[in-house]
Amino acid sequence: MSALCNKIGLVTGAGQGIGRAIALSFAREGAKVVVADFNEEMGQQTVELITKAGGTASFIYGDISKEDTVKTTVDFVLTTYGRLDIACNSAAVSRGSGPIHEYERSIFDQTLEMCLTNTWLCMKYEIAAMLKNGGGAIVNISSNASLRGQAFNTAYATAKGGVNILTKSAAAEYGSKGIRINAVSPGVILTPGLEQYFEEQPDKAEGLRKKSVMNRLGAPEEIADAVSFLSSDRASFITGQILSVDGGGSVR
Ligand SMILES: NC(=O)c1ccc[n+]([C@@H]2O[C@H](COP(=O)([O-])OP(=O)(O)OC[C@H]3O[C@@H](n4cnc5c(N)ncnc54)[C@H](O)[C@@H]3O)[C@@H](O)[C@H]2O)c1
């Protein structure tokens, strides 16, 4: 039997990149999936990819850094499929990088909102839904930027550090209620966003490749496999963990 057979799943930021790969993996493993994104065209494309492959998926549009949107999104899952079993909070946007002493407070605040507060909001409503059906599994997408700190990327790194401790705290809070909560921390993953960055700054590619001990970039599907495993009953005794999927970048 497939690992996520009969599960109902939600993936935020599933319009492209890592989130899309996670939605496709959930569906391949047998889950029915709600794809949430504020890019309508790309979100619909993800649904098409899933349905063409024989899976079941629905799209919901909205900015999940806004509480009313998150509530609507989780309500949509419940009215469409009856319950929520697994959720992956992948949506995140960094609003900018640069030295702290020249950094705008508004950019710092927005980055926290789009990378950390959104994750907390999603968990708030996902957990409430999961409590109604006796449990579930949540995987948050962190980043290796959270592990050692990252110069000139302090807002994003701080937000993702917050995602890690939020994950652990929530796991401690809801373990006894049957909800497992973990995070996956990607290394450098070749997504459309990174491809565009390499086109603009081709000299950066080699340095990023060397961040992994395998001297290569990761693929979105390699993150998705880890998320599907953590979401499945095969990970039934794993909670509160931050799993780096980074080709060994964190031990370099
Ligand atoms: N790509 C990498 O190398 C890398 C490394 C470490 C961590 N990550 C993390 O992985 C996750 C996915 O990254 P990616 O590279 O695939 O990103 P991406 O920019 O390619 O895709 C992000 C998707 O999320 C959507 N989105 C963002 N904020 C949203 C919001 N508030 N509401 C609704 N939709 C929203 C975007 O429209 C987009 O479809 C993020 O959490 C990111 O921080 C990525």
Cα distances from 145 to residues 84, 160, 161, 191, in angstroms, run: 30, 7, 8, 16
Q: Is 197 a catalytic residue?
A: no
164 C-alpha vs ligand 1 centroid, how far in Å?
16
The tens digit of pLDDT for each residue in 122-170 reads 999 999 999 999 999 999 999 999 998 999 999 999 999 999 999 999 9
The rounded Cα 34 to chain-centroid distance in angstroms is 14
pLDDT at 163: 98
Q: Domain segments of the chain: what residues?
A: 8-189+223-244
Cα separation, 175 vs 81, whole angstroms: 24
Please, what is the angle between helix 154-174 and helix 105-112, to 10°? 30
21 C-alpha vs ligand 1 centroid, how far in Å?
11
pLDDT at 201: 85
The minimum-distance atom of ligand 1 relative to the CA of 18 is: 16
Q: 61, 81, 103, 156: which one is catalytic? A: 156
Task: Confirm or reject CATH 3.40.50.720 for domain 8-189+223-244, answering yes or no.
Answer: yes
pLDDT at 236: 98
pLDDT at 198: 87
Per-residue pLDDT of the chain in tens (252 residues, 90 and over written 9): 799 999 999 999 999 999 999 999 999 999 999 999 999 999 999 999 999 999 999 999 999 999 999 999 999 999 999 999 999 999 999 998 999 999 999 999 999 999 999 999 999 999 999 999 999 999 999 999 999 899 999 999 999 999 999 999 999 999 999 999 999 999 999 999 889 888 888 888 889 999 999 999 999 999 999 999 999 999 999 999 999 999 999 998
The tens digit of pLDDT for each residue in 168-182 reads 999 999 999 999 999
13 C-alpha vs ligand 1 centroid, how far in Å?
6
Please, what is the angle between helix 154-174 and helix 118-132, to 10°? 20
What pTM value is reported for the model?
A: 0.98
* Ligand 1 pocket list (CB less than 6 A): 13, 15-19, 37-39, 42, 63-65, 90-93, 114, 118, 141, 143, 186, 188-189, 191-194
64 C-alpha vs ligand 1 centroid, how far in Å?
12
Q: What is the DSSP letter of 240?
A: S
pLDDT at 202: 86
pLDDT at 160: 98
Residue among 67, 90, 139 whose CB has most ligand 1 atoms within 8 A, to mutate: 90
